[in-house]
Each structure stands twice: as C-alpha cells, then as structure tokens.
Amino acid sequence: MSTTHQSSPTPPSSSEEASGPDGPLGREQAHLAASRAALRAMRADAEALDIADVAANWVNAEVLRGQLDARIEALADLADTPLFFGRLDYLTAPGLERTADGTDGGEDEHRFYIGRRHVHDAQGDPMVIDWRAPVSQPFYRASRADPQDVALRRRFGYTGGALTAYEDEHLSDPDEADTGSALLQREIERPRVGPMRDIVATIQPEQDEIVRSGVGGTICVQGAPGTGKTAVGLHRVAYLLYAHRERLARTGTLVVGPNRSFLHYIEQVLPALGELHVKQTTVDDLVAHVPVKGTDTAAAARLKGDARMAEVLRRAVRDGVRMPTEPLVVVRGSRRWRVPAYELEELVRELTARDMRYGAAAEALPQRIAHAVLVRMEAAGEAPDDRVQDAVARSQPVKAAAKAMWPPVDPVKLVLRLLSEPEFLARCADGVLTDDEQKEILWAKPARGVKSALWTAADAVLVDEAMDLVHRTPSLGHVVLDEAQDLSPMQYRAVGRRCTTGSATVLGDLAQGTTPWATASWPEALSHLGKPEARVEELTRGFRVPRQVIAYASRLLPTIAPGLAPATSVRESAGDLVVRRVAPEELDDAVVAACRRALEREGSIGLIAADPRIPELTRTLSAAGLAHLAPGAETSADARLTLVPASLAKGLEYDYVVLDEPAALVDAEPDARTGLRRLYVALTRAVTGLEVVHAAELPEELGAA
Ligand SMILES: Nc1ncnc2c1ncn2[C@@H]1O[C@H](COP(=O)(O)OP(=O)(O)OP(=O)(O)O)[C@@H](O)[C@H]1O
C-alpha cells in the first residue's frame, strides 16, 4: 500500500515511528542536511577556483570566468526549493551484476535521491541525482505492472524548505495495493500564486514519455486545457539540454509562446530547473523585421498567412532575373574575351534550376561567368590560376552583367512592392491567387517608403519568408512552439525554418484555436512546419481544471471542435461552479462582489472579460478600491487579482476565475465559432473555482447551468 508519513501537520495517514531523529523521516532529514552541506561545498570549491593559471589569455579567461559564474549561480542552495523530492531503491544496483549470494554491493549502490540537480560529496559520491539522468527515469515511469527493478519509490513532501513527509510505494511487492499518491494530489491541488512553477517532482508517465523523447524527432502534443502541455514542453527543453548539452549549446534552443504576458508567466520555470539561458519569444518578435503599425482585416490576414503566399514570394524574388541579350566582353591586358549570350543564358538557367538561395546564386554567378572566361583563356594556351578567376569575377563588366541578369533583392522592399503594386502582384500571383484575393491583400494606400508603410503582423511574416528566400535562416537545435493551434501556415513556415536541421516540440489544442486561420489538423500544420514525419501524441488527463468546471466548458466541444474528447480531471475537488444572472445595471457591481468573494479565499484570482469591456471594468474595480494587475504581472500575496482581457487569457491560470458576460466575449470575435472557442479558453483557466456573472443570455451551447 502507498502510505504517507509526516511529522506535521495532519497527513492523510501518519506514523509514530516515522518521526524522530532516528526514525526514517529523521534519517531522510539528515540526508537532506548533508546534501545541502555538500552543495554548499561544491559552490565554495567553484568560488575558490583560480583561473589565472589555466587561462592562456584574456579572452579565454573571460570565457572561463563566465562559465564559472554560471556554475556558481547554478549551485545556489535555494532554501525553499527542495533539493530532492524522491528516492528510488533498486532491487539490483544499476550497472552491477548480482553475485551468487544475491548481493551486489552496499545499500548506497541501490539507493538514489532524485532532485533538480546533481550533488556529490567530498569523495565524489552522488548524494542527489539529477532528475534527467537515466537512473532517475523509473521514478517517473515505473509502475506495479512494470516495476523496472524498483523495490521502493519514495516521494517527499515539504513544508517551505523543510522535509516533513514521505510516501512509499513498494512496486515489486505483489501484495501492496495501488492507492494513488496523496503527495501528488497535494501538489496538484496547491494554490497558485506567482508565476508558473515546475512540475519536476510529479511528472506523470505519459508526460515523461514526451519529455524524454529523443532530440532527433519532432513531437506534436494535442492536449485539452490544463493537461500540462506547456509544462511538458519546458521540461523537455531542460531534459534535452541535459542529454545533449554540447550539441544544443552550439545550435541553441528557443521557446515560442503566444504573447509577452504568457512568456512572463512561464519565464521562471526553466531557471528553476537550472537552465538559465533558453531564449523565449513570440512569433511576432521572431519576425520583427519591420515596425508593425497596421492591422489587417480577418480576410486579408488569412490570405497573407496562406501557404500559397510562399509561391507568390518565390516568384517575386526571382521576378527581376533577366536573360542576357548581348555577349559579355572582358578585357585583360591586350586581349579581349567574349562570352556569347547563349552561354550566359545557360548559366542563369542552371542557377534557376538549382535549389539554391537567391543570394547564394547571386554570389555564384560572377564566379561562373569568370569560369567561362577562364575556359577560353585556357583554350587559347594561357594558364590562368584561381587568382585570375577571382579578379575576372570582381571586374566591372562581369559584376555589371551579373547584376543585370540576377539583380540584388531587398526582401523588405520586395514585399512592400508586392503589396503596393497591383501589376507586380498580379504577375507573381498569376494562377495562385484569384483577382479578388489579390485585391484583398493589396494595401489600401500604396506605401511610399519602408518606414512609413503600415506594416501588419502578417506582412512581417511575409518579409521573413522573403528574407529566407534570399539568405538561408540559420537553424537552431530545438524549438518549442506553444499554443501552436493559432499559427497560420506562413507562421508555421517561419518557425519551421528556424529548426530545419533541428527538431521541434509542437504544443496545442485544436479547440482553443481563436485566429481566423487556426489549425484544423495537426498533420497539415506539421507539413507547413516542414516536419511531416512528426509524431502526434494526445494528453487527456487534466491537472488544472476541476471536474465540474471542465464538464461545463466541454459542453462547447461538439460545436467548436467536433471529434475532440473532453479532458478528464485528476483533481480531487469537483470545484466550485457558480453561474449568476443579474440585471444589466447590476452587472458591474455583481462582478465586483464576485471578486471580493474570491479574494476571501486563498490563491490568485483572474477576472476575465471581453477586450472591449476592459476599460469600464478597470474603472469599476478602481472605484471599488480593488487593486488589480495586468496579465503576466506577477501575482503576490498582496496583489492577487488580475484583470485579464479574454484575448490574453490563453495559457494562463488562476485559482479563482470570475468570468464577466460570456456573450460579450463571443460577440467580440468575428464569427460564432471563434467566439465560442474564446469562451472555452476563458472557462478553462480556473484551478479551484469559477463564477460566471452575466446579464445577457448565455450562448445556447452552454445550456442551463
Ligand atoms: N504532472 C503534473 N503534476 C503537477 N501539476 C501539473 C502536472 N502537469 C501539469 N500540471 C499543472 O497543471 C497546470 C496546467 O498545466 P499547463 O499550463 O502546462 O497545461 P496546458 O496543457 O499548457 O494548458 P492550456 O491548454 O490551457 O494552455 C499547471 O499549473 C501545471 O503546473
């Protein structure tokens, strides 16, 4: 049976012999104290290292200093972060064979404490093993059905920084019943205040499979709200950085999220896992080559995000390529060399046919022309070497001829022209976009210059595509793409070209797609990303939303994402769900009252409302003396209420959610399906309780409360 022991406060079950310095709990506390002392010693060793003797020069010394500072920082003993959270006792010490008498070394070889980082004692023997090490894996995956040679799995419970409880599972004991983990439950139910935290102590087997899957493959995770997609993506980065540190340090990793408030919310997770240098960005910031000042209509944005635009841009980039009409004459000393037009044309055709970036071809053309000149020199009995070829390639007539045939392209100006000049667009989009579609994407007023143009977010993605057509975008080692369902095909391409030689973790939920171009199918999205071979996994066990609340929100699923299964909730509490109808003139007061009620409880509170309602609610809250934050701003014990525009709610969570006027949320979107999806997102942000306050009729898909 899985039993929980603890010294205080009241546990699900407790044991006398567990407490006291000589009891099992006391021994674990002693191991914690010894491990923390060992960590402090490791840090002191790092601080005492004198690099003056080992660094050959100033640059080396600076690099070494930087690495050492990072190590010292990583070795900090954070008082309220448990140094270890689990223990595994193996039947057979990993890596050792059992001897004839059944022994295989001392207890130490069998026992492993699992924590956020590796800690060793003065002799170099491990005190705590990194959760990402292979020997830690059974902590997450072993089960009674597959004990993976584990005799005992022990989970530790902490109060503040103090170890106060443990819970045992004897996985290889056939007589022990499986009762689930009270500590896991406690962790899941713990109130949320502050930024997102890591889940390293309680990663579930199906999540661990994703976290530890190899760096070579791309994985796509479809998961209902609160199934841990974001958590899994971030832990996967930490895992990959551990397992492939050198390779990924060279190539880099990147986390892409929907907006800055979301990034703010998740930014502490990787540092808490010891990974301080992972870049996090939004798709918009990834392609911020032009200042975005304009907005598109939904129809224009959808077209600009359509994958057909890639073909339009490909043609646009090559539109200026011209076949020569005259021969080229190069004068060297007293001799003149003539390359006929048909031969130059051949060179251009060859470059066009090759899968080469436009810019690379532009650089290659003068060399090819020079080579043609050299062939003539050799035929005439000269013996020119590479330097002559270089000189010819750099000569004025050759450069001029190459430029005329293969003119330089400025990607920003190219897109500006494409969106401003109907004739140019018509030429590039012929047979790809209809006349009406072309009209739709043309700017209402042709731009006069790059700076004054009213670039939109979708235009910036086009610029990024054009840039890549001219010069290849460097690939990172691994990219995590969160809330992927909202990306357009062109945005998928933009992310995909940042991991062409690397891999990706794509996280999303088709039911939460709220853009006009939202993903309809993962295989299609993955092909735009350039990873059609990616594996699609589904997560359905929800850790955030209580049963009653998820059941209420799931009423929308048949309309917004037919075919998707509702999430189950692993939370014990059914959750509080209140749906309150008031008269229109009472709406604001009722919202304030709901916020006050929520503030009486423990944890964070999100008041979610349609974007157009935000100014009025800001005034109402201020008039009522309720201090509130903007999304992403860190909640604290004193500032627990956040006013969340529905457009920014995605990915966030609050212990209590007060949802203002659902009909306004739905109405604020261009179509009913998007509106209901927005509502689904808002309804699934609550960890403990949800109060819906409305004056207008609720959308009929929600039915009666
Ligand atoms: N194994 C776990 N143990 C404890 N808590 C977990 C676990 N997995 C997820 N959680 C918690 O559940 C909540 C939801 O996780 P997360 O935000 O990653 O879900 P999501 O699938 O990305 O949700 P959404 O679709 O709404 O963005 C978080 O508070 C997270 O810490």
Predicted local confidence at residue 473, as pLDDT: 97
pLDDT, residue 704, reads 64
**Number of neighbours of residue 625 by Cβ within 10 angstroms:** 7
pLDDT value, residue 520: 92
**ipTM for the complex shown:** 0.99
Which positions ≥6 away from 562 have C-beta within 8 Å?
Answer: none
- State if residue 509 touches ligand 1 by the CB under 6 angstroms criterion: yes
Alpha carbon distance 506, 481 (integer Å): 5
227 marked as binding residue: yes
Element (H, E) at 126: strand 126-130
* Residue 196 CA, ligand 1 centroid: distance in Å: 9
User: What is the pLDDT at residue 268?
Assistant: 86
In contact, 220 and 526? CB cutoff 8 Å: yes
Q: Which DSSP symbol is given to 455? A: B
Annotated binding-site residue? 94: no
Decide which of 306 and 246 is more confident: 306
Q: Binding site annotation covers 134?
A: no
Nearest to 374 by CA among 360, 365, 366, 384: 384
Q: What is Dmax (Cα atoms) for the chain?
A: 105
**CB crowding 583-612: b at 16 or more within 10 Å, else e:** eeeebbebbbbbbeebeeeebbbbbbbbbe
Task: Tell which residue, 605, 586, 544, has the closest CA to residue 225.
Answer: 544
**Atom 16 of ligand 1 has which residue's CA nearest to it?**
228
Q: What is the mean pLDDT of residues 545-565?
A: 92
Which residue lies with its CA nearest to atom 29 of ligand 1?
544
Q: What is the mean pLDDT of residues 570-590?
A: 89
60/580 Cα distance (integer angstroms): 66
Q: Stretch 603-624: mean pLDDT, rounded?
A: 95
Substitution candidate for ligand 1 out of 229, 234, 507, 538 with most atoms within 8 A of CB? 229
What is the 244 CA–ligand 1 centroid distance (Å)?
25
Average pLDDT, the chain: 89
Residue 493 has pLDDT above 70, yes or no: yes
Q: Is 60 exceeded by the pLDDT of residue 182?
A: yes
- The separation between CA 127 and the C-alpha centre of its own chain, rounded to angstroms, equals 32
Scanning 497-625, the segments in alpha helix (DSSP H) are 522-529, 547-553, 557-560, 587-599, 614-623
Query: 228: CA distance to ligand 1 center in Å?
Result: 3
Mean pLDDT of 577-598: 96
* pLDDT bracket for residue 55 (50, 70, 90): low
Instruction: Please report, as a single letter, which amino acid is at residue 522.
Output: W
Whose CA is closest to 478, among 123, 211, 290? 211
State whether the beta carbon of 225 lies less than 6 angstroms from ligand 1. Answer: yes
548, 682 contact by CB (below 8 A) = no
**pLDDT per residue as tens digits for the range 429-470:** 999 999 999 999 999 888 889 999 999 999 999 999 999 999
Give the integer Cα–Cα distance in Å for 529 and 500: 9
First and final C-alpha spacing in the chain: 40
pLDDT band (50, 70, 90) for residue 5: low
Q: Is 225 known to sit in a ligand binding site?
A: yes
Pair of tokens at residue 166: 């443990």
Q: What is the pLDDT of residues 132-166, one digit of tens each?
A: 999 999 999 999 889 999 999 999 998 878 899 99
43-57, 389-403, 626-640, 686-700, range with the lowest pLDDT = 43-57
Q: What is the DSSP letter of 321?
A: -
For the sheet with 279-282, list strands across it: 279-282, 253-257, 478-481, 503-508, 219-223, 535-539
pLDDT at 371 over 80: yes
Determine the Cα–Cα distance for residues 174 and 177; give it in Å rounded to an integer.
Answer: 8
| Exposure on the CB side of residue 11, measured as CA atoms within 13 A | 24
Name which residue sits closest to atom 1 of ligand 1, judged by CA.
Answer: 203
| Residues 265-278, mean pLDDT to the nearest whole number | 87
Q: Which token pair is 553? A: 């929100």
Which domains can be identified in the chain, with CATH numbers? Answer: 3-189 (no CATH), 204-320+409-543 (3.40.50.300), 328-405 (no CATH), 547-702 (3.40.50.300)
Q: How far apart are CA 111 and CA 92, in angstroms?
A: 10
Q: Please name every residue paired with 69 in a beta bridge, in sequence order, or none if there are none.
A: none
pLDDT beyond 80 at 640: yes
Q: Count CB atoms within 10 A of the CB of residue 119.
A: 25
Is 223 touching ligand 1 by the criterion CB < 6 Å? yes
Q: Nearest 5°: phi and psi at 485?
A: -60, -15
DSSP string, 151-183: EEEEEEEEETTEEEEEEEE-TT-TT------HH
Tell me the whole-structure pTM to 2 decimals: 0.90
| pLDDT tens per residue, range 188-211 | 777 766 778 889 999 999 999 999
27-31 long-range contacts, CB within 8 A, separation 24+? 28/87, 28/156, 28/163, 28/166, 29/162, 29/163, 31/113, 31/127
In angstroms, rounded to a whole number, what is the distance separating the alpha carbons of residues 420 and 100? 83
Per-residue pLDDT, 53: 63
**Which structure tokens are listed for 269?**
């997770």
CA 507, CA 520: separation in Å to the nearest integer?
14
Spatial separation of the C-alpha atoms in residues 286 and 481, rounded to whole Å = 12
Q: How confident is the model at residue 65 (pLDDT cuts 50, 70, 90)?
A: confident
Q: Can you tell me the mean pLDDT for 535-554?
A: 93
